[in-house]
Amino acid sequence: MYTISGDRTPLIGSGLLGSENGTLNLPDHYRVFPVGSDPVPVAERKSFLRGYRDGIEVIIEACTHEPFVYTVTDEAHTTVAGCAFCLSNPEAVTQPHDFDTETHVCTACGYAYEGALYTVSFDANHDTGSMAPVQVVPGHKYLLPENGFVAPDGMCFTAWMAIAAAGNQSDPLAEGAECTVSQSVLLQAPWQVVLPFGVPFFSCPKT
């Protein structure tokens, strides 16, 4: 028996969603699922109903079209814009995970990364203070933090300098800049000298 959610009226024949010749009219915005089971994927709705057997109760109900995450990898999650169970042509959208820096859990889909991590370390460059290293998921975005070191007398902080294991240095990287981490890296504070009359050699927003 086919029924609609909350109703036990048979849907075959002239009932709701039915017809006089015994066929079933199935609107795109309705989903189908056997009682006690997950909904049937949208592409399989018709074939599932054609193969209906006595003894299996099937519920047909209007769907709320809530976004549904259905594929997850280490790098990304694929979602359907709308719903995977009721739209005729659901649009698959793949997006990289947005991992929390501390937990390494994606803030969008809840996927927890458990693989190897890269380390972002910080170097005060011969001055005082400390900043704890951060573990980052390989290939994903990382927002450069504010400088937590104390500037030497007569000097100021302008931007980070990234130094790779091989000794290669990056161009200056501003606090708050979004970077893709492709290897473990050291962020060094390249202090700039402030001239006697208060003007640094380069732009110096902080001391």
* pLDDT beneath 50: ranges in the chain: 1-16, 18-19, 199-207
The token pair that represents 67 in the structure block: 């976004």
Burial class of residue 118 in the structure, from the number of CB atoms within 10 Å of its CB (0-12 exposed, 13-18 middle, 19+ buried): middle
* Sequence ranges of the domains in the chain: 2-62, 65-114, 118-193
- Rounded Cα distance between 34 and 38, Å, is 7
Q: What is the pLDDT of residue 59?
A: 79
List helix spans (H) across the chain.
45-50
Q: What is the pLDDT of residue 5?
A: 46
Spatial strand order of the sheet with 118-123 comes to 134-136, 118-123, 185-188, 161-164
Model pLDDT for residues 12-51, shown as the tens digit of each residue: 444 445 445 555 667 777 788 888 888 888 778 777 777 6
Q: What is the pLDDT of residue 136?
A: 92
What angle (nearest 5°) sits at the alpha carbon of residue 169, between those of residues 167 and 171? Answer: 175
Contact between residue 59 and residue 35 where contact means Cβ atoms under 8 Å apart: yes
Contact between residue 60 and residue 3 where contact means Cβ atoms under 8 Å apart: yes
What angle (nearest 5°) sits at the alpha carbon of residue 101, between those of residues 122 and 145? Answer: 40
Q: What is the pLDDT of residue 207?
A: 42
Which among 206, 202, 205 has a CA at the least distance from the CA of 192? 202
Q: What is the pLDDT of residue 118?
A: 94
Spatial strand order of the sheet with 30-34 comes to 2-4, 58-62, 30-34
pTM of structure: 0.57
What angle (nearest 5°) sits at the alpha carbon of residue 143, between those of residues 137 and 149? Answer: 110
Whose tokens are 């790779």? That residue is: 164
Whose tokens are 């994606």? That residue is: 106
